[in-house]
Structure 1
Amino acid sequence: MSKELVIRMSQPGAAAVLQAASVDLAPPGAGEVRVRHTAIGVNFADIYHRIGLYRLPQLPAVLGVEAAGVVEAFGGETAGDGVGGLEIGDRVVYAGLPAGAYATARNVAANRLLRIPAGVSDIQAAATLLRGITAHMLFQYVGRVRAGDTVLVQAAAGGLGQMLGQWGAGLGVRMIGTVGSTAKREMASSKGYQEAILYRQIDFVAEVLRLTAGRGVDFAVDGVGGETLEKTLQTVRPFGMAASVGQAASSQTEDNAVLPLSELGPFRSIALARPSVFRFMSDLSRYREGAAETLARLAAGLAVDVSLTLPLSEAAEAQRRLENGQTAGGVILLPA
């Protein structure tokens, strides 16, 4: 047994429900690896878990779905012999369920771990793996974009937005993003976006249609939800597609309103997807495929700006800032 610091919740609610605790971590079981965390990613999924929008199997629960660290021990009969080619001291990263990454160390199934390439920092790996797998899912399985397509991304300066901009530009896609400030517009422009629309100053629907000569985009990705999603649908060309991948606009209110598809009127000739990256990653082959593609792109120079790093003990503050739109790019917790 080892004593570890964790950040957990006993009931849904505001960020204050996140509390530090010292817990006993059992030795890893067969097929498991104990990972000593070095960097922990903070994602909107953590907020959705906290407020109850995404249900956790039981409470109290430790949050967190993404982290990087060092292999510290192996479990079961394979202890000391390596698992899946891993060795003690290897730098590794993982993403996905079950939650539990807000901890100084945890036991993880060996087949969920991937070595971090040389030249890629633990912080960058922990800030990008989940977003990279999401980008892979969206571009290869959902939208199936091709060179020459036009894609709109809401919140282009955020962590996922930065990942999608660079990934799409690498595929030869014309990337259009929405941002909330001139600083974020400059950031988006440096991350693969050919156009970044200041949505607070300009009607982004009219601007997208202007930029596409009235045609609309081939694929739109919306992680905001609510009224923004309804407007996003208006930017998609006939028989194009929109993907709803989150509801940041309702994270504080827990209001996840149903979109009235029967009332979409002239926009009914488009496809609307609601893909779940966690469902995508539940297939181990897809998970490892998307993770390998992400790490290869990171090794080749793709990067997400990390705008906030805080100690693990300040996880609640990290979530508050992410939830209130006070960050751009990745948010990382550092174990003490």
Structure 2
Amino acid sequence: MNGEKQRAVRIDRTGGPEVMQLADVRVGDPGPGEVRIRHHAIGLNFLDLYHRTGLIGLPLPAHLGMEGAGVIEAAGPGVTHLQAGDRAAYAGYPAGSYSDVRVMPAMNVCRLPDEIGFDTAAAMMLKGWTAYYLLHRCKPVEGLSAGDYVLFHAAAGGVGLITTQWAKARGLRLIGTAGTDEKCALALEHGASHAINYRREDFVARVREITGGKGVKVVYDGVGKDTFEPSLDCLAPFGLLVAFGDASGLAPPIVPIRLVEKGSIYITYQGLFHHIATRDSTQQMADALFDVVRRGVVKIPIGQRYALADVQQAHRDLAERRTTGCSILLP
């Protein structure tokens, strides 16, 4: 491309949505192990907000965005699984998907099946991979079987609606929480067995009621501070709390003896990027996600579409929980 200028969202400092600016950047040719991809759609995630605010730091100045889909324009030396002209999708570091075109490592970029559109792919990679590892790799010591109860916070969000469908397909009874009756209805439509409006109900009491006092085997918690402590009281003995995000702020520290007091329970905090640290693991997770989407087992709900130039408003809507399902940016 000889350094042709393209648009990309950049921050020179951390802060509110206003720190994001659309800038012209020069995009060259891919080096060894890299590809150049022209985006057709870009994913929007809470992780992007953490990068913008500095909760999870990036070296400044920084480009934002962790997920996208488009067409490979060029593949660098050593890249064997992709070539120019391939439809592709990805999630992963380094950040920079909020752009027209970018050069990036090829390891987490996967060839996209023809049956899956760019909008769907951009909305599902990071969130779908997250749903996969939560359900398939984060299991309680006693395992998960059809009929078991699990609790998922923010069940009407992008990860939530994907996980809810996938959990139903596995025969799990997922109890979802959300902040409005409309969002609760959405979770139920996507396969939740029960939905709890946490603004009107005590979700701990409701979980105990639904499970006959036994509690759930797993709590999946991407909310953090607001839900962490009461979630411990939702677990059955030997149950597992899987933290994977901090939408409401960082969860408080916990004294280990409390795990015994709560029933010899377990806690883990998981991050997607350890699960896609190799090409083989990345492709295995992509194959599983592509399969359930192609077969219609999991449908990717895109609730919002924004122009790339409207990225500030997109971040405001996501931070203020005005969105449902997945959101994407369109170059």
TM-score tier, shorter chain, comes to: over 0.9
Contact in 2 for aligned 1:154/1:224 (Cα 8 Å): yes
Contact in 1 for aligned 2:75/2:82 (Cα 8 Å): no
Of the three residues 286, 294, 310, the one matched with 2:281 is 286
Q: Deviations over 1:79-137 (max 9, x none)?
A: xxxx4243432211000111111110111323322122222211111111111111221
1:37 counterpart residue number: 39
Of the three residues 63, 85, 90, the one matched with 1:94 is 90
Contact in 2 for aligned 1:84/1:111 (Cα 8 Å): no
2:293 counterpart residue number: 298
Instruction: Give matches, 1:14-93, under 5 Å.
Output: 14-56=16-58, 58-76=59-77, 83-93=79-89
Please tell me the residue identity of whatever aligns with 2:37: V
Please tell me the residue identity of whatever aligns with 1:163: I
User: Quick check: 1:111 aligned with 2:107?
Assistant: yes
Please tell me the residue identity of whatever aligns with 2:178: V
Compute the RMSD of aligned alpha carbons: 1.6
Contact in 2 for aligned 1:62/1:99 (Cα 8 Å): yes
Instruction: Give matches, 1:1-336, under 5 Å.
Output: 1-56=3-58, 58-76=59-77, 83-143=79-139, 145-250=144-249, 257-263=252-258, 266-267=261-262, 269-301=264-296, 302-335=298-331
Contact in 2 for aligned 1:84/1:110 (Cα 8 Å): no
Give 1:228 shift. Answer: 1.1
Contact in 2 for aligned 1:155/1:178 (Cα 8 Å): yes
Please tell me the residue identity of whatever aligns with 2:306: L
Structure 1's 256 and 52: CA in aligned 2 closer, same or farther, altered over 3 A? farther
Please tell me the residue identity of whatever aligns with 1:292: D
Query: Structure 2 length normalisation: TM-score?
Result: 0.93
1:97 counterpart SS class: coil
Please tell me the residue identity of whatever aligns with 2:52: R
Q: Deviations over 1:283-307 (max 9, x none)?
A: 3322221122111111111122111
2:69 counterpart SS class: strand
Contact in 1 for aligned 2:64/2:97 (Cα 8 Å): yes
Give 1:260 shift. Answer: 4.5
